[in-house]
Amino acid sequence: MRALGKAVAVLLTSCTFVSVAHATVHDHLFANAFDIPADAPASAGAAARFLTQATFGPTQADITRVMAVGYGEWIDEQLAKTATLSEPNVEAVINARIAGGQGTSQTTRIDRWLWQATYAPDQLRQRMAFALSQIFVVSDQNGAIGGDIVPMAAYQDLLARDAFGSYLSLLSDVTFSPTMGKFLSSFHNQKANCTAPNVCSTNADENYAREIMQLFSVGLIRLDMDNTPMGGVITPTYDQTVITHTAKVFTGFTYSDAPTNPANFFGGGLTFAGQYNPMACWGSELFALSSNNMRHDITGDDGTAASNKTVLDGGLIAPNQSCAKDVSDELHIINQHPNVAPFISRQLIQRFVTSNPSKGVNPSPGYTARVATVFESSGGDLGDVIKAILLDTEARNPPALVNGDTYGKLREPLLRLTAMWRAFNAVAPAADVYGEIAMTGGTNFQSSYGQAPLEAPTVFNFYSPDYLQEGALATANMVAPEFQITNESSVYSVGNNYYRFTQGAYQGMANPPTDRPLINLSALTVNAANSVALVATINANMLYGSMSPTMQSRMTSLVDGLAGASTAEIAWSAIYVTMLSPEYATQR
């Protein structure tokens, strides 16, 4: 079933498929301003809670929209929005800086990313791109791409464009991205150098072959649809032999503009487009099999052209094929593996909704399996997958809060910042003379937060989807990925940074900084003398109405205690202390 569905999906390019399909399938023909949609949120708080999951933070406008059209229609509207792009802006800024004799850095890309997270209308697409960037990881922390500012912006755009397309299209685009190629060294990876069967002085680089399977698709053990070990038994998905043979598939890649006549495999990359356009593969499509310029490995398992490549699950790839055919065969074999749906679905659920789907007190069984089923039946349509994740009963109907509750997740520190900006209508500074809009306030987010876009320490992301935090959570066998970057030191460095974006960045302050957005405190200052009303606004804007009675009383005492301070200080103090609080640090 799934193979057929995917075959159809693959025939259509992802962009066309998404816009046409969703426009026809998901239209609410009878929706108008007077209907209350069947899936309308029960309250503004419920809408804000949904938007906390689905966006970079609820705004009043989005809350109003979700309440008007319901969850499903809001998602459909988001699925139809085209991607807000980074690369054109980043390239223009970098060119202008170079022309102006200025240095360049990844800060330009991070500034653009933060701006998009805070202001782009395609919020769900941008959130999905961020989630995908934590699965299909590339990072400027790796020296191979540390200087590739514009190509990394293009990689962000690749993820945003493919965010609601088919998984196979995404996997293919990622595989051919020179940024991924350089990060996991398939770029310039070359065929084995063999003189006789199994007698080779070098063999192909195994890096991409290993990580595409371990991290981007199937993982290490066979899974059931709920992402637990198949049949309750640990069975490895592949072994080292599969890796060695698969490595041959991912050979021959270089820049799209590397000259072929006269041939220079190590040339090219002369323009930004040359650096980010899909890699060329120097296989039989470009050169005769006998040519020294043929860098793709056409041989099979024993290093001869008479044997097949034996890859995942015993899949066979014939010898003497073009590089494009080899790669396409390999990606189709991976795509059809039954692990893909649960493996990817579970990680996306973790990024948007909850760390431990279908576990804990009063769980709703089968969340991951339900989403994985949609993944399969839709042919890996990621737009359908994210819709299934957000509309699932476990996402929309959280279990009642009782002691020992493990529903929900620790929020990513970057998302806690963008949510605060959006909650208080932060206004970004004007673009500088190079066209760059400063957002970072000079922050190195990777060192302060342990997290920054496309800046993970390694391909294993900022945290593992299986990370166990010692204590009550691990005792209950509940994973807690975001705790891997949360510790006694990081709560201080993150907190101090939030201070710079609250106490140090609000409209109306004396000498406001020009390197970061300024938040608008008016929704709070108007109630500076009315602590209950002020705390109610904090609760609605930052905690989707979920603030516990205990915290409400703590916050009310804070505001009352600050009576006599400036209204601005009362307001930013309430925001800042909330940003440090355990309830804002989590979502459920």
Is the Cβ of residue 100 or residue 582 nearer to another protein in the bound state? 582
Please report whether residue 264 would count as binding another protein according to CB under 8 A: no
Give the angle 512-516-517 at the CA atoms, nearest 5°: 85
The DSSP result for 451-494, as a single string, is --TT--SSTT-SS-TT-B-TTHHHHTT-B-GGGGG-STTHHHHH
Is the Cβ of residue 193 or residue 320 nearer to another protein in the bound state? 193
Please report whether residue 362 would count as binding another protein according to CB under 8 A: no
Please report whether residue 243 would count as binding another protein according to CB under 8 A: yes
CB 426 to another protein: min, Å: 19
- Pairwise CA distance, residues 540 & 550, whole Å: 16
Site for another protein in 189-228 (CB under 8 A): 189-190, 193, 198, 200-207, 210, 214, 220
Residues 89 and 110 sit within 8 Å (Cβ to Cβ): no
Please report whether residue 486 would count as binding another protein according to CB under 8 A: yes
Q: How far is CA 285 from the centre of its chain?
A: 34
Residues 483 and 410 sit within 8 Å (Cβ to Cβ): yes
Binds another protein by CB under 8 A, chosen from 13, 458, 514, 530: 458
CB 9 to another protein: min, Å: 31
CB 493 to another protein: min, Å: 7
Binds another protein by CB under 8 A, chosen from 188, 222, 387, 516: 188
Residues 91 and 150 sit within 8 Å (Cβ to Cβ): yes
Binds another protein by CB under 8 A, chosen from 257, 405, 432, 515: 405
Is the Cβ of residue 92 or residue 580 nearer to another protein in the bound state? 580
Q: At what angle do helices 60-80 and 382-391 cross, to 10 degrees?
A: 150
Q: At what angle do helices 531-542 and 549-561 cross, to 10 degrees?
A: 130
Instruction: Provide the 10 A C-beta neighbour count for residue 45.
Output: 17
Binds another protein by CB under 8 A, chosen from 499, 513, 536, 545: 499
Residue 475's Cβ-count burial label (10 Å; 0-12, 13-18, 19+) is exposed
Binds another protein by CB under 8 A, chosen from 66, 419, 485, 575: 485
CB 12 to another protein: min, Å: 35
Is the Cβ of residue 188 or residue 337 nearer to another protein in the bound state? 188
Binds another protein by CB under 8 A, chosen from 15, 468, 526, 536: 468
- Pairwise CA distance, residues 339 & 222, whole Å: 6
Binds another protein by CB under 8 A, chosen from 32, 240, 261, 511: 240
Is the Cβ of residue 130 or residue 576 nearer to another protein in the bound state? 576
Please report whether residue 408 would count as binding another protein according to CB under 8 A: yes
CB 4 to another protein: min, Å: 33
Is the Cβ of residue 100 or residue 404 nearer to another protein in the bound state? 404
Please report whether residue 474 would count as binding another protein according to CB under 8 A: yes
Binds another protein by CB under 8 A, chosen from 402, 427, 529, 532: 402
Is the Cβ of residue 46 or residue 479 nearer to another protein in the bound state? 479
Site for another protein in 67-106 (CB under 8 A): none
Site for another protein in 137-156 (CB under 8 A): 143-144, 146
Is the Cβ of residue 16 or residue 566 nearer to another protein in the bound state? 566
Please report whether residue 557 would count as binding another protein according to CB under 8 A: yes
CB 562 to another protein: min, Å: 5
Candidates 319, 339, 414, 320; CA nearest to 380 is: 339
Residue 369's Cβ-count burial label (10 Å; 0-12, 13-18, 19+) is buried
Start-to-end Cα distance in the chain: 35
Please report whether residue 234 would count as binding another protein according to CB under 8 A: yes
Query: For residue 453, which phi and psi values (nearest 5 degrees)?
Result: -60, 125
Backbone dihedral region of 322: left (phi > 0), alpha (psi from -120 to 50 degrees) or beta? beta
Residue with tokens 């609601």: 164
Is the Cβ of residue 220 or residue 509 nearer to another protein in the bound state? 220
CB 579 to another protein: min, Å: 11
Candidates 485, 505, 381; CA nearest to 118 is: 505
Please report whether residue 233 would count as binding another protein according to CB under 8 A: no
Residue with tokens 């949360």: 486
